[in-house]
Structures are given as structure tokens and as C-alpha cells.
Amino acid sequence: MSMPLIAAVALGAALGGFVQGLSGFAFGLVALGIWAWSVDPTVAGPLVVFGSLIGQLLSLHTVRGGFDRGRVLPFILGGLIGVPIGVALLRLIDPLGFKLAVGIILLIWCPAMLLLRDLRRVSGGGRWADAVVGWIGGVMGGLGGLTGPAPTLWCALRGWGRDAQRAVFQSFNLAMQTITMAAYLATGTIGVETAWLFAIVAPAMLVPTLIGARLYRRFSDAGFQRLVLLLLTASGALLVVSALLRLIG
């Protein structure tokens, strides 16, 4: 294992951990910006899941005030149903085209929401609608590893406070990533090299994640919503660029 690889993994983990602690998601968005140049894709996937899982656990204390089991549970139940469907759809749908479509939607929808001064809240559908959104997130996770965008965007549309929003999508992502990690372990996806890199990721992101979680408390509800929409816009841009580069290549 070379020193440049170790340095790149540690840097990506530190930056991703900071943003994860600050926002409650987007570890992979930031870390892959560093790892894409030096880490094999077959290793990067488990690293992102592991880092996201660690980041969720380290910053879970930030959402205690907004946690509502009745609000969170429909998302998780929907996601559990959706993941195997997404995995099954891998044989029918081109994952690259799917990621490109999701990226385009995020690039159009999220900036539009940012430009609106007064977002209209979506209040209809109740918990059944929340479960459907969780199901969509599960399908997207099984199909392309994209569990986060749907519930995160939906929470913003619901107009919940920052703690309530973060409690939902952080709990949802934690559940989905736990399932994914268990699947990796059960199928032998994690090799010796990946396990050694886990030992680099965890300590590298510890302090940055806690700093980000501390800074989160300085955001107002409106400021946090803008942060979420900006990160989703950046996520959409990354999806579009990476998909186009692969298509061209």
C-alpha cells in the first residue's frame, strides 16, 4: 500500500467526514471527489459505505432533539422494501443512464428551489407518502447506490425544521448503509486491502466529523435548508459529469 494512496484516502475521509457532520449526508459526494483519482472503483464503493456509516454514528447525537420514531419509521420500512427491487432492476435498466437522469433532475429542481424565497410546503399524503419516498430511496439505492437524494429532497419539501429533517434522512441513510455493509460482508466483497483502508478512514474522519457536527448547531432552519439544496445540486452535477465522462469514454 503506497503512501500517496494512504494520503488520498485520509484526505477524502477527513473532508467527507466534515461535510457529513455538518449536513448529515454527502460523505460520498465529497470523498469520491478525492478518491476517484487514486482508489479503485471496486474499493471506493465499500469505503464510501463504511465512511458514511461511521459519519452517521458519530453525528447521530445532533438529531436527538428532532427524532420522532413515528416520522422516521415509514421511510425506513419503504426503503427496506425498495432495496431488493432496485437490485432486481439492475438487469433491466442501465445504471449509467439512471444516474444521468437523476443528476439532471437534481440540477434543475434544487437550484429552482434555492431561487424561490418562499417554498410551498408539501403536506399531503401523510406517512403513506413518506413511505413511498423511502421506497423510492431504497430502489435508487439498490439500483445505483443513491439512497439519499429522494428522502433528503422530500424532507425539504415537507418544510420540517432542521433537526426533524436531519433526523429523518440521517436515520434512513444509517439503516440503508447498515444493510449494504452487511451484504458486503456476507458476499465477501470486502477484501484485505479494503479492510486496511477502513483502518485509515475511521481515525481520519473522527475529528473533522465532530467539528462539522458542532458547527451544524449554528445554522438556522432556513440556512440548513439552503445548505442541503446546495449539496444536492453539487451531487447532481457530479452525477451528470461522471456519467457523461463514462459515456464519452
Q: How far apart are the first and last CA of the chain?
A: 28
Of 133, 18, 42, whose CA–CA distance to 82 is shortest? 133
- pLDDT less than 70: residues of the chain: 1, 90, 116-120, 144, 249
Question: What is the three-class DSSP state of 73?
Answer: helix
Q: What is the DSSP string of 182-216?
A: HHHHHHT---HHHHHHHHHHHHHHHHHHHHHHHHH
Looking at the chain, the number of H-run helices and the number of E-run strands are 10, 0
Task: Please name the amino acid found at residue 20.
Answer: Q
Residue 222, all three cell numbers: 432556513
Residue 5, all three cell numbers: 494512496
pLDDT tens string 185-244: 887 878 888 889 999 999 999 999 999 999 998 888 888 888 988 988 988 888 888 888
Count how many residues are written for the chain.
249
Contacts of 204 (CB under 8 A, 6+ apart): 9, 10, 11, 13, 14, 17
Q: Record the pTM.
A: 0.81
Tell me how far apart the alpha carbons of residues 243 and 230 are, in angstroms, rounded to a whole number.
20
User: What is the predicted pLDDT for the residue at 156?
Assistant: 84
User: What is the predicted pLDDT for the residue at 184?
Assistant: 80
User: What is the predicted pLDDT for the residue at 54?
Assistant: 92
Q: What is the DSSP string of 129-144?
A: HHHHHHHHHHHHHHHH
Of 132, 134, 8, whose CA–CA distance to 72 is shortest? 134
User: What is the predicted pLDDT for the residue at 131?
Assistant: 96
